[in-house]
Structure 1
Amino acid sequence: MTSMQKLVGLGLAAILVSLLGVGGGVWLSARHYRPLLDVSNASLAKAALARDNLEALAVEQGRKLGDLVQAGHLRERNAALAQEKARQESQPDYAAANKLLRERTGGDPAEAAGEIIDVELGL
């Protein structure tokens, strides 16, 4: 064998040993890091699922809150209508009560109210 062939043989052997070293390093690294990656991937999947659930709950909560606000506005409007209806229906009774007060006391509604209160209190 010539020195050139020996040199080429040594170079090929060095390359082969380097490739075996790299392959062994990759295999050892994969054995070491694969369980860590699996745990991290499982944690990531759980976190993504929890986030999706929270998003769905937040959307549902927002919808329910909107429904409650609308129901509150509807109750407020209905109460205002009922109050106005009661005011209109009580006008004849209110007018009759004022007329009766004026007839009993002779005129001034404030004076009449004061006298009625005094009678009620026993003064």
Structure 2
Amino acid sequence: MVALVLIGLGAGVGYWLTARHYQPIVTTAQADVKKAGEDLASCRTTRESLEGQVGEQNQAIAALKAAEQDREQKAKAAADQAHQDAQQDYQAANRLQQERTGGDPAATAAAIIDNELGL
């Protein structure tokens, strides 16, 4: 019976010494786990925010590309129209040069221009 009491007393003292030794380590580990959980939540929030911003940037880039293509098409159409308009003027200028009949060049040019304009 004394042996059982001594074994129980030894076990109780051993438990108390072990708990006293490991309690600060367990408390520190629990605090670290809690901080890691908070950091994880913060990282997830930041990640979601960044994903949203990247999505908005991708939409803006797509809109800019569409606007660029639209401007390119309009510029090409305007250049084609200008080329056609210039071609008509070029042909009219060639006719003016070919229809020169002699006499005063200024009066002849004025008459041809008036004729072209329907005056």
- The two structures have a TM-score, normalised by structure 2, of 0.68
Alpha-carbon distance between aligned partners in 1 of 2:94 and 2:61, rounded to the nearest angstrom: 46
Alpha-carbon distance between aligned partners in 2 of 1:27 and 1:98, rounded to the nearest angstrom: 104
Q: Identity of counterpart residues, as a percentage?
A: 22
1:17 is matched with 6
Large movers: runs of 4+ above 6 Å = none
Q: How many positions carry a matched residue from both structures?
A: 95
Identify the structure with bigger relative contact order (alpha carbons < 8 Å, sequence gap 6+).
Answer: 2
Alpha-carbon distance between aligned partners in 1 of 2:63 and 2:32, rounded to the nearest angstrom: 46
User: In the alignment, residue 40 of structure 2 is paired with which amino acid?
Assistant: R
Alpha-carbon distance between aligned partners in 1 of 2:88 and 2:40, rounded to the nearest angstrom: 70
- The two structures have a TM-score, normalised by structure 1, of 0.66
1:44 is matched with 33
Shift of 1:45: 1.0
1:112 is matched with none
User: In the alignment, residue 76 of structure 2 is paired with which amino acid?
Assistant: R
Shift of 1:105: 6.7
How large is the Cα RMSD of the aligned pairs?
2.1
Q: How does 1:14-93 map to 2 (within 5 A)?
A: 14-93=3-82
Gaps in structure 2 of 5+ consecutive residues: 96-119
Shift of 1:40: 1.1
Alpha-carbon distance between aligned partners in 2 of 1:61 and 1:50, rounded to the nearest angstrom: 16
Shift of 1:100: 3.3
Shift of 1:22: 0.2
1:99 is matched with 88
